[in-house]
Structure formats: C-alpha cells, structure tokens
Structure 1
Amino acid sequence: MAERRRLLIDCRRLQCADEHRCFVLEEHESRYLRKVLRLKQGAEVDVIDGRGHLWMARLRDGQQLELCTEIEEPSQSVISPLPKLGLAIALIRRGMDDVMRMACELGVDRLQPLDCQRSVPQAEHRPERWSSILQEAVEQCERLWAPELPALCSAAAWWQTPSQHDLRLIAVTREVESPPLSALLASQASVERSIWLSIGPEGGWSDQELAAARAAGWISVSLGDTILRSSTAAVAGVSSLSNWRTFRC
C-alpha cells in the first residue's frame, strides 16, 4: 500500500474551512508539504485533528488544502483507547526529546513534566519544542489521538493531581519489596481508569517526595534489577504499559 502523508491540524482551524471545504495552511505547513514532501498541486494528503478523526484532502495551490468530504463526515474515526496511559517524568538534562517522541509512538495519552527536588539546573524545559516533537511523532506513527502535554508541575503538587481512582505508580530503585511493574500489571483486570507512571530525575526521588507520594496513595514499582537512566526508565515503563493495554484490554 502506498504511503500517505499526514498533517495534524487543530480541530478549531478545520471548523473554519470555507464553503468549498478549503482552509489556509500556515507557513511552516505549506513549506513542509512543498519543500520537504515535494507535493504538487492536486496531491493527496491525510488531515488529522488529534481527536480521533481523519479526512482525505488535496493540496490546492501550495497555500490551501481542500477536504474531500464535509467536516462532519471524516473518512475515519476511532474512539480513544482505554485505559488512558500517563507518563509523568522529571525534568532531565539529556534525553527528554527522545522520551517525548518514543512515548508518543508507544501510545501514551498524557505526558506530564515534573520539577523535582533533584532535577539539575541544566535540566531541559522546552514545552514548545516538545509540542512540535509530539506533533511530528503523531503524524509519523499514524496515531489519530494526540497526547496531552500539560504545563510543568512541581512534584510536591503532582501527587495529589491525578484522581485517587486512577492506578498511580511511582518507579523506584533498590527497594526489594517493590513489585516489578510487569507483575503488578499482570495482576490487574482490564480497567477504564487511567494509569499513571511517574519517573524521577537522574539523582532519584528525594525522601520527602517518596514519603509524600506514598502518603497520597502512589504504589512503588520496580523496572528491573539494574539502575536505568531516567530516559531509559521512562521508555521501558511506557513499553510495559502499552503492551499490557494492547494484549490485556
């Protein structure tokens, strides 16, 4: 099957299409289609809104796209997968871009950056860049639902933020009594509540953060016998969550 290029367009812009189902491309979108993909007038491209819908469209003149159907009649619609998967990760010095991209490709629904006590001063916080990375990842991996990227949250405020009905997990090291993440997931029935996994910074969680998380009802889990970099731990944990949802739910 021939590859079809995708473009993620905010649903509010799609609603502003004219009576001919056309809407104006932003400069970076037009440049991407014309200069990077080298699409000519009349070329087909798939448009997604990041909310479960896909439309077939045609490039008009390099500056406009024309939807092939009415906005109320998308070519494809899918329900958001359940349970929702969330990754909360402390700001880290290197690897955050890769975490964002790979977590999106693996199907994470929410990505929450955390400011932790042991986050180093050089830790990256680039929400605009991450939003761009997520958009590109959504288009590349053919997701129809784009992940949410909330604003930076302090770890102190984070433990009380998700619903108490969610399954809330915090990755720890050197704690033999903490169950492996895979074993804990295997014991879970299919659930519709959200599942959160929190990953700490390079220096690990502080004692105060661990105590506050446990007091709020978070469950400690292990990601293996070795000490993983934060970025590696995030991807390993998300892989387990994604596989569990795919094959168990």
Structure 2
Amino acid sequence: MVNFSDIKGFTFDLDGVITDTAKFHEQAWHDLATELGVEWSDTLGNQLKGIGRMDSLSMILAAGGKQNQFSDDEKKMFAHKKNTHYVALIQSLTPDDILPGITAFLGEIRAGGFLASIASASKNAPQILKKLEITNYFVGIVDPSTVSHGKPDPEIFVRAGELLNLQPKQIIGIEDASAGVQAIKAAGQTALGVGAATQSAKPHLWVRDTADISLKTIAMKLSSD
C-alpha cells in the first residue's frame, strides 16, 4: 500500500462518483429497448452500468434474442438515437446534481495542489462537467472514442493517469462500479471504491458513499492499512 505522501493526483469515474446520470441513461435505454421490442428489467438495467454505448446496445439486443436481426449501420443508428435522447435529458443538470461531498473534495484537491482527470466511458463527459460547472477542476478528460477496451480493462485509467503526467503509484482512482475498481487496480493505481457494488472487486480503500470522501479520510485509511 502506498503512503498518503506519495499521492499527487486522482482519476475519477464520472457517473456515480461525481454525479448520477444513470437515471438518464436508464430512461433512454429503456425507451429504446421498448421500441425494439425488448422487455426491460432491473437486472438488464444494472448490467449496463459503466458499459460503453455499443456494448450496451449489444447486451439489450442479446437480452431480446435480437442480436443478429440488425446490420451494423442500423445498430449505429439505434445507439445514436439513444444518445440524442440522453443528451436532451441531461440538459436539466445543474451544480445541485453533484453528488454529496464531491464539490468540497474537489476544492480540497485543488487547494492541496493535487491533479485530477476524468476516466469515463461517457462521450458526453465534457458537456456534463460543463453543466455541473466543474470543468476547471480537471486537467483533462479521456476521450473514450480513443480507447480500444472498456472497463475492467485498465486502458482508460492508464490514459487518465497519463493526462496527469504521474506514475500509477502516485494516483488514486475513484470508482463506484466493480469493473471500474478492477480497471484501476490493473492500471497500477490505488483503488478507492464507493458503495457496496465495489466491494466484490476488493478495492484498496472503501467508503460507503461520496459524502465520506475527503483527503483526511483517505490519509487515515492509507495509514491504517
């Protein structure tokens, strides 16, 4: 385990860590699934969390036994339609939609001279950060269109670390999904898991929810492990 004094930066997942756009994703996917004649379920909705757009569409089509009924062009059209709907839904986001404790934590990071970047599968991350009015807290956002492999592959967190120009041992990655925690660990960074869903991936550090994240809490957890 690293020492707190070694830490110089943070890589953040976006959805479920900084804000909760899952409800918008779920609504948009649910509506598309219904249109395609695929029965929606809570299980299917949970399986899509943290998964990229085309992979999510594939899972929906597979759930309805329709994975071979559409051409690649049709699938791209469906994914675009879902995203257009989602983008319309997120226009309602404001700084009030930042999850508890995160605004204060970002302030702590900046005041302490730490760097931060975003490692999100969402192509809409820049727009979401702008709506939340927190873009200037981050030195960069990984463009998911340049990433070949989704989480739990470490690629996106490796890229996010490169944006910070830091070594993996100098970085704490923050995630609310098991696949994300696996990706952080595989990238060689220290994984901070948020919420019960991350416990199965055995993050190095764990908090119950975002309100518990602070530099003091992280320093205490690192010194006790």
TM-score band w.r.t. shorter chain: 0.3 to 0.5
Is the helix fraction higher in 1 or 2?
2
TM-score normalised over the length of structure 2: 0.35
Higher RCO (Cα < 8 Å, 6 or more apart): 2
Q: Which has the larger radius of gyration?
A: 1
Higher strand share: 1
